[in-house]
Structure 1
Amino acid sequence: MITFLSGGTGTPKLLRGFQEILDEREISVIVNTAEDMWLTGNHLSPDVDTVIYLFAGLLDTAKWWGIRDDTYITHDFLQKLGIEEFIAVGDRDRAVHAARGEMLRSGMTLTASTRVLCRRLGLRATVLPMTDAEVTTYVRTADAQMHFQEYWVKHRGSVEISGVERVCRDAPEATPEVLSAIEESDAVIIGPSNPVTSVSPILECAGVREALKKQRVIAISPFIGDTPVSGPAAALMRAFGLEPTSAGTFRLYEDFLDIFVQDVRDPVEIDGTLRLDTLMINRGKSLHLAKNLMALLAR
């Protein structure tokens, strides 16, 4: 079994390749939940849902979020009724959020509700929220603290930020399911997800770093030079106190890392790293990278 640490875009692109070379029952994905939020009475878990939709064959891979060919009747009618949602949620996507919200309100954990959704959507892979505790990523602006979703979706990352904060009632703990997935894996792969908002929240869950130190871990940089392959990673890395490059990413992971992969075009030099083509612009590129990583693991 291979376990992946995932956010909502970079790692799912890699998972698309691994789907073609592994039995999905041999794949476990530990997913960031620090971008979760309640919206109009429903519970969004955007990174979890992206991974679920990928394995269910529903994901809109043009956007890498939401359900392919979804409609927006409810969203549009809510606006007519004066309910402004800064995230445009599709109707079938909203049904998943509503189902999860009902399960959470009934007392189910996020792990249990995710398991139910996966079963009902026919998944064979295992999808695990990083924790059952409520953890939220906020960014600091000149005026206030802002939820990451508001920063990235509503403002398109255009707001100047000075810090990144994780807010939670108690220190988050990894679930037993998460720790078992790491411990029982043949290897752990950290895909090219955002190091600050996608991967770090997982690493901050009690027990995760310790478990990773006992495993074989491969991580893929999301940077080429000082430019992230996608998303607001550069601004977030600076606000987090890290250099917005592969070198900064490497420093974040180096205490448990066995192999660090940089893109062949990355001008940043780090001793002992491996160079591969990591730009997964289509399914073929995702498959090629997955095959190269499997060859590494077979050595």
Structure 2
Amino acid sequence: MTRVTLLAGGVGGAKMAEGLAALPGVDLTVIGNVADDDEFHGLWVSPDIDTLSYSLAGLIDRRQGWGVADEGHRALEVLARLGQDCWMSLGDRDFGLHIWRTMRRMRGDRPSVIAADAARALGVGPRIVLPTDDRVQTRVRTDAGWLSFQEYFVREKCAPEIRELRLDGIEAARPTPEALAAIAEAEAIVIAPSNPLVSIAPILAVPGIAEGLRQARVPRIAVSPFIAGKVVKGPADRMMAALGLRADAVGVAERYAGLADVLVIDDLDSAHSAAIAARGLHPECRPILMRDQGDKQRLAAEVLEIARMLAAREEVA
């Protein structure tokens, strides 16, 4: 078995997790983003962790990429009738998980234990661990002021121009022992093709996580979320451009310099290879679009093959 640790958030992260989990001989641990978490209708909701859990359990709504398939929204209809603001779409079975999670949190259980118990109950094989048990939340500053990430992403549909990002609570956050162990014990570390700013950066910002990656003496492979200068899903390209960052594979390389050895980019971005190498990462060109399970497994297998080649070179050296 090859111990693989994946840093992931959002739909792209869940797809990468599905691909790795389907490969024989892979012992997978996923460190998921918790900075998208927020409270709705008195319940604590963990969108990225739930997307990972639902995807790996085979329960995800494939059409929209999040939530549970074949879902109803009767609870939300009642809340709307009672005058509640219901822009955050939560399905009936999804509500069940949020109720249970909130009950456990109110009881004082560690969020990491809650996430692990939920994944186990849903039938998830890989381990899903949290980077921190503390409350860390992404905030987005627009011309209208500060918004929570879900307000920006869901309610405003990513329309406002971004002026600034911040992570509330990061100064006091402590890494979980599970996350630190997942990095220290990994034989390969993969950064998923997730949004570098709001999915991966909050994980890396937790004290000890980025340091663990820098010190790791195992292959570290990042996968770009960009294809020909555009992301497949989500606002990463617009967010990076709005903040004055390069919104392409080179911009991703700049974010992960010192944290990854290789950046896997799409064949359509091969012209960026020299610029990526100049940032200290070795570029590997592959078709990275994950349209179905076959694509997910193929890309995951190619990422691990790159990791094995890196490890072999280290042994020779």
Kindly state the Cα deviation for residue 203 of structure 1 after the two structures are TM-superposed.
0.4
Q: How many residues in Structure 1 have an aligned counterpart in Structure 2?
A: 298
Match of residue 235 from structure 1? 238
Give the % identical residues.
34
User: Could you report, residue by residue, the CA deviation over 1:221-274 in whole angstroms, capped at 9, with x for unpaired residues?
Assistant: 111243122100022223444211111111111112111111111243322311
Match of residue 193 from structure 1? 194
Letter in 1 for 2:203: I
Residue 214 (str. 1) matches residue 211 (str. 2): no
Letter in 2 for 1:15: A
What does 1:68-147 align with in structure 2 at a 5 Å threshold?
A: 68-147=69-148
Distance 1:28 1:169, change over 3 A: closer
Match of residue 286 from structure 2? 276
Letter in 1 for 2:88: I
CA distance in 2, matches of 1:262, 1:71: 38
1:19 alignment partner, one of 15, 21, 35: 21
Kindly state the Cα deviation for residue 22 of structure 1 after the two structures are TM-superposed.
3.3
Match of residue 8 from structure 1? 10
Letter in 1 for 2:43: N
Q: Which runs of 4+ in 1 moved over 6 A?
A: none
What does 1:176-191 align with in structure 2 at a 5 Å threshold?
A: 176-191=177-192
Match of residue 172 from structure 1? 173
CA distance in 1, matches of 2:244, 2:136: 20
Give the gaps of 5 or more residues in structure 2. 310-317
Give the gaps of 5 or more residues in structure 1. none
Letter in 2 for 1:273: P
Kindly state the Cα deviation for residue 163 of structure 1 after the two structures are TM-superposed.
1.1
Q: Which moved more, 1:216-225 or 1:131-140?
A: 216-225
Equivalent position SS for 1:9: helix
CA distance in 1, matches of 2:187, 2:81: 52
Kindly state the Cα deviation for residue 70 of structure 1 after the two structures are TM-superposed.
1.1
Residue 47 (str. 1) matches residue 48 (str. 2): yes
Match of residue 314 from structure 2? none
Kindly state the Cα deviation for residue 214 of structure 1 after the two structures are TM-superposed.
2.7
CA distance in 2, matches of 1:250, 1:204: 17
Letter in 1 for 2:231: P
CA distance in 2, matches of 1:48, 1:179: 18
Asked whether the equivalents of residues 172 and 204 of structure 1 are also in contact (C-alpha less than 8 Å), the reply is no
Residue 152 (str. 1) matches residue 153 (str. 2): yes
Q: TM-score, normalised by structure 2?
A: 0.90
1:291 alignment partner, one of 292, 297, 301: 301
Kindly state the Cα deviation for residue 166 of structure 1 after the two structures are TM-superposed.
1.0
> Would you tell me which structure has more helix in proportion to its own residues?
2
User: Could you report, residue by residue, the CA deviation over 1:173-205 in whole angstroms, capped at 9, with x for unpaired residues?
Assistant: 221110001111111101100000000000000
Letter in 1 for 2:212: A
